[in-house]
Amino acid sequence: MICLLGGTFDPIHYGHLRPARDAVEALGCAVLHVIPAAQPPHRSAPVASAAQRLRMVELAVAEFPGFRADDRELRRGGPSYSVLTLESLRAEYGSQPLCLLLGMDAFLGFESWHRWQDILDLTHLVVLTRPGWTTDGRAAWAQERYGDKAMLSRSAAGHVFFLSVDPQNISATQLRTAFAQGGTVRGLLPEAVREFICQNKIYM
């Protein structure tokens, strides 16, 4: 089973990395691809450049065995539609189960993603709990797709699995503000990423 985590990663932080590690351990995944978006379709342009965001991901994954920085969306250019990324991963991994990890906030907007139904033919969704976010009965479309852990490994794609992870009340927005204002960031992201941001004055 292969896990994937896409995002803007402006910057990457422990709110991404620890829930992803919890998921990888819970699911018994061998590999997690961490995939920074070139042009995220759903939001304004990132502050850090694509090259800086990739470098921060590379520095961060060094702390986590099995995590890989994956630059395919940056190499492809154009809007970073997940469906295209998943088609390329599917071509690479054949019929192995793929699990796209996404936080609850991202999951609630999933129906607005480009060709979202096609995405479910390519991957399972593993929805990670995130402080401040609940389904509140939304995403009714997912009900018929709910699966348990065993179902994820028995099929290549198509199930939705909710995973309760150790809560990390951290967001990239909060970190950009803290860097700009000289606030405290220690413990919220890998030290190597913090040093890179300070050396390059990315959010200051």
Site residues (vs ligand ATP, CB under 6 A)? 7-10, 15-16, 19, 102-103, 105-106, 128, 130, 168, 170-173
Residue closer to ligand ATP, measured from CB, 7 or 97:
7
Residue closer to ligand ATP, measured from CB, 95 or 181:
181
Residue closer to ligand ATP, measured from CB, 95 or 173:
173
Instruction: Tell me if 161 sits within 8 A of 23, measured CB to CB.
Output: no
- Minimum CB distance to ligand ATP, residue 18 (Å): 8
Helical axes 191-200 vs 50-61, angle rounded to 10°: 150
- Minimum CB distance to ligand ATP, residue 5 (Å): 6
Residue closer to ligand ATP, measured from CB, 16 or 194:
16
- Minimum CB distance to ligand ATP, residue 170 (Å): 5
